[in-house]
């Protein structure tokens, strides 16, 4: 995907973040007749991917650090350190940065949709695909936003910026679904892309994200009662069934190989290269975070909070060594270094472990086929109130790959035992998402949508010095950044628990009954 990467690197100056939703889109900087050619339209669309590359360095802090499985080795008063300790306030720099990146991407998508639709000089094939990519990416950014903050501003045009109030959660999800359906109708399937365009949004990516959106929406919205929830779970199953053309990698760690980019399991992946320096620190910061202190016992930026999470894996499960590095060869290759606390393995380059921390060129997996199987199984359990054969098979394919049984469509000795009820199967899904997806920016959003976030951290047994017991019900959302509220204090009321006596919008605790 070299064409996309290079244009992204060039376009960063045009998408610098500021504190306001009133962003200047790229089209305004290039004149009223832009885009004119197909290349113009592609360049404009490429710019929408830019904030996603930046999110590789930030969003993991909001999705993993505030959970029981990860701690920060940074200064405890830094933005990341405070997220890890759950000492959050509206001025937290990580929360503010993620907000800015998401709304920069949304502004870029709005601008691209308008300008490409209005141009009569772009070929129909490029127009169709580019608008599809824009709708996908807008939905992708809004999905993060609604999970992090709940009600959020919902600008859908280039004139919809400053002064907008927070839209209802259901309205945001409705727009996300609309965008993903539009994207799925316009985007090519993965096999139709040339090698130079691998990594772009595809029809499969739109349907995979749609399955995740419907499942999350059904689990977190009480609008319409049980009937509306069940309808969303059914639509999640339907969307997951539309995700075709992908399969599991036999080797789990192949999903993070620099030699196998955009492999057969990848559905949507953030592209990173050696030459990419999108934020002044270089590419995918998840690499740096996991091995910043090299072969020492000094805790890097992020690390597992307790050895027990490593030990929870069966030793035969290839995900154990694929998720955590308890031992690594030193750079000289002839000795083993053993870490007291395992490092996160997925973003350590086995061929160049020291280099992986500085090069930061492993692609960030956003959604892969293994997660679609787990989403499908979970949605079936939610829809039926119990698993069926199709749900068991989806989980069993994950287990067969984990324990080295191929083909994954054939029964194995490690298959899940049948006869589980709704609660039993739900526990299996929750466990398997932990084993399969650790350090893939899912843990906080999972615990929140399952409404077991506080309980999980309180009962985790993690050493109290790491601050996980600081968790409270207000941590089911993040605070609205103060810099945004300073611009629009009436439209951007603060989330419950972060504004004290000044809380006039949310009233009583909206998370009562959550665990």
Buried b (16+ CB within 10 A) or exposed e, 150-166: bbbbbbbebebbeebeb
C-alpha 329/C-alpha 113 separation (Å) is 49
Using one digit for the tens of pLDDT, what is the confidence trace for 72-81?
A: 999 999 999 9
Contacts of 58 (CB under 8 A, 6+ apart): 94, 97, 98, 101, 285
Read off the pTM. Answer: 0.93
Q: Which of 457, 432, 381, 416 is nearest to 64 (CA)?
A: 457
Contacts of 46 (CB under 8 A, 6+ apart): 3, 4, 7, 8, 11
Name the class of domain 2-187: mainly alpha
pLDDT the model gives residue 281: 52
Using one digit for the tens of pLDDT, what is the confidence trace for 377-412?
A: 999 999 999 999 999 999 999 999 999 999 999 999
C-alpha 391/C-alpha 393 separation (Å) is 5
Using one digit for the tens of pLDDT, what is the confidence trace for 281-334?
A: 558 889 889 999 999 999 999 999 999 999 999 999 999 999 999 999 877 777
- CA–centroid distance for 452 within its chain: 19
pLDDT the model gives residue 93: 97
C-alpha 282/C-alpha 272 separation (Å) is 9
The SS3 call for residue 244 is coil
As a whole-number percent, the residues of the chain with pLDDT over 90 amount to: 80
Using one digit for the tens of pLDDT, what is the confidence trace for 212-241?
A: 999 999 999 989 999 999 999 999 999 999
Beta bridge partners of 152: 167
C-alpha 352/C-alpha 355 separation (Å) is 5
267-281, 302-316, 481-495: least confidently modelled range: 267-281
Domain assignments of the chain as residue spans, ordered by start: 2-187, 285-359
């Amino acid at each position: 995907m070299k064409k996309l990467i290079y244009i992204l690197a060039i376009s960063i100056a045009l998408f610098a973040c500021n504190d306001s939703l009133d962003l200047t889109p790229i089209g305004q900087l290039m004149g009223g007749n832009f885009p004119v050619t197909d290349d113009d339209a592609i360049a404009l669309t490429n710019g929408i991917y830019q904030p996603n590359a930046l999110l590789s360095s930030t969003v993991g802090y909001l999705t993993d650090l505030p959970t029981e499985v990860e701690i920060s080795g940074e200064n405890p008063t830094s933005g990341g350190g405070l997220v890890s300790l759950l000492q959050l306030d509206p001025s937290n720099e990580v929360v503010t940065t993620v907000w800015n990146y998401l709304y920069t991407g949304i502004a870029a998508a709005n601008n691209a949709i308008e300008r490409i639709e209005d141009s009569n000089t772009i070929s129909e094939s490029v127009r169709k695909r580019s608008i599809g990519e824009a709708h996908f990416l807008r939905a992708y950014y809004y999905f993060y936003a609604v999970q992090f903050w709940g009600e959020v501003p919902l600008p859908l045009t280039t004139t919809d910026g400053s002064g907008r109030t927070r839209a209802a959660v259901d309205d945001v999800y409705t727009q996300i679904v609309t965008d993903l359906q539009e994207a799925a109708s316009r985007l090519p399937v993965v096999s139709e892309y040339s090698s130079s365009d691998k990594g772009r949004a595809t029809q499969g990516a739109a349907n995979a994200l749609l399955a995740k959106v419907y499942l999350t929406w059904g689990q977190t919205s009480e609008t319409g009662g049980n009937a509306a929830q069940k309808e969303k779970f059914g639509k999640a199953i339907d969307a997951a069934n539309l995700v075709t053309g992908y399969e599991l990698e036999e080797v789990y760690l192949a999903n993070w190989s620099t030699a196998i980019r955009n492999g057969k399991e990848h559905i949507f992946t953030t592209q990173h290269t050696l030459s990419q320096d999108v934020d002044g620190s270089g590419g995918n910061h998840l690499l740096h975070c996991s091995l910043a202190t090299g072969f020492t016992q000094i805790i890097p930026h992020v690390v597992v909070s307790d050895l027990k999470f490593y030990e929870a894996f069966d030793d035969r499960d290839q995900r154990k060594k694929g998720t955590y590095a308890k031992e690594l060869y030193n750079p000289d290759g002839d000795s083993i270094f053993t870490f007291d606390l395992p490092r996160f393995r997925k973003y350590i380059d086995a061929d160049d472990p020291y280099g992986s921390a500085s090069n930061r060129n492993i692609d960030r997996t956003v959604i892969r086929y293994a997660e679609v199987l787990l989403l499908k199984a979970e949605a079936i359990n939610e829809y039926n109130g119990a698993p069926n054969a199709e749900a068991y098979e989806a989980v069993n394919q994950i287990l067969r790959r984990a324990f080295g049984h191929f083909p994954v469509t054939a029964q194995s000795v490690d298959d899940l035992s049948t006869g589980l009820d709704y609660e039993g199967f739900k526990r299996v899904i929750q466990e398997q998402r932990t084993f399969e997806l650790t350090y893939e920016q899912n843990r906080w959003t999972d615990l929140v949508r399952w409404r077991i976030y506080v309980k999980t951290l309180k009962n985790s047994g993690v050493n109290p010095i790491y601050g996980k017991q600081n968790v409270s019900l207000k941590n089911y959302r993040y605070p609205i950044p103060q810099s945004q509220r300073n611009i629009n204090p009436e439209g951007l009321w603060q989330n419950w628990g972060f504004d004290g006596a000044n809380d006039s919008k949310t009233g009583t605790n909206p998370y009562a009954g959550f665990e």
